[in-house]
Amino acid sequence: MWMERSVRVEHLNLQLGTDLVYMPRLLKYLDNQSFLKKILTPNELEIYQSLKHEKRKLEFLCGRYACKEAYAKSIGTGIGDVDFLDFEVLKDEKGKPISNKGMVSISHDEDYAIAVVILYE
């Protein structure tokens, strides 16, 4: 059975951003604290450091990296005009990624992580 969810967007200003990351590209940064502190907020870094397996750390890092790139695209500036720490993605009680700035979706498959960010007013 399919569940449908609809949102009335008649008067909403929606901004969409998406990003795809080739995960092996970030593999060399898993233990680079300087890089991690530029990309992950303190809360995200705490979650990252609690992960035990390298594969899960890589998925987490690449997912958050993709989210931040997607966020920059959604506001129309690209990452050059946005600090990676401006956008934080945490988890709700079920493990779903959430942000106080909009809706977030992250997925991983083999060597890729993808993120979609939707901002709304």
Structural domains in the chain, sorted by start? 14-120 (3.90.470.20)
pLDDT (mean) for 60-75: 95
Tens of pLDDT along 75-119?
A: 887 777 789 999 999 999 998 999 988 899 999 999 999 999 999
pLDDT at residue 2 is higher than 50: no
Residues with Cβ within 8 Å of residue 72, at least 6 apart in sequence? 17, 78, 79, 80, 81, 82, 87
Q: Is 53 a catalytic residue?
A: no
The catalytically annotated residue of 73, 91, 96, 101 is: 73
More reliable by pLDDT, 78 or 47: 47
pLDDT of residue 10: 65
pTM to 2 decimal places:
0.87
Rounded Cα distance between 106 and 117, Å, is 9
The catalytically annotated residue of 37, 68, 94, 108 is: 108
Q: Is 96 a catalytic residue?
A: no
